[in-house]
Amino acid sequence: STREAEVLKLFKSLHRTRQQIFKDDTRALEAARIKINEEFKSNKSETSPQKIEELMKIGCDVELLLQTCVVQGIHTDHNTLKLVPRKDLLIENVPYCDAPTQKQ
C-alpha cells in the first residue's frame, strides 16, 4: 500500500540522515541505528491511520531536528571540543542580526 511505502521511505531517509549527521562517529551511528530500528519495530503492528500519521509526523520531526540542530564535536583534549558543522548547516542558517532595522 502507499502508506507502507511512505513508512519505508521515512525509515530509509532517517537512516541516510543518521549516516550524514554522525559520519565517522561509530558509537553515535550505532546508537542511532538501534533507536531508529527499535522505534519502527515497536510500532510495526500499528493499524490506526491516525496513530500511523502521528508516528510519521514524529519521525519527520526527528529527521528535521537531526538535520538542523545536531552538530558533531570532537574532543581535541580533555577539556576542549572542536565543533564540526556540516556545509549545508552553515548555508541554511540565517546569521543573527544584532541591530534589527527600525520600522518607520
Q: How confident is the model at residue 101 (pLDDT cuts 50, 70, 90)?
A: low
Which residues make Cβ contacts (< 8 Å) with residue 71, sequence separation at least 6? 83, 84, 85, 86, 89
pTM of the model: 0.71
Per residue in 26-45, pLDDT tens? 998 999 999 999 999 999 99
Residue 69, pLDDT score: 76
Q: How confident is the model at residue 24 (pLDDT cuts 50, 70, 90)?
A: confident
**Of the candidates 13, 31, 28, 30, the residue with the CA atom closest to the CA atom of residue 67:** 13
What are the φ/ψ torsions at residue 28 (nearest 5 degrees)? -70, -40
Pair 23, 45: CB distance under 8 Å: no
Burial 12-35 (b: 16+ CB within 10 A, else e): eebeebbeebbeeeeeebeebeee
Alpha-carbon distance of 73 to 9, in angstroms, equals 29
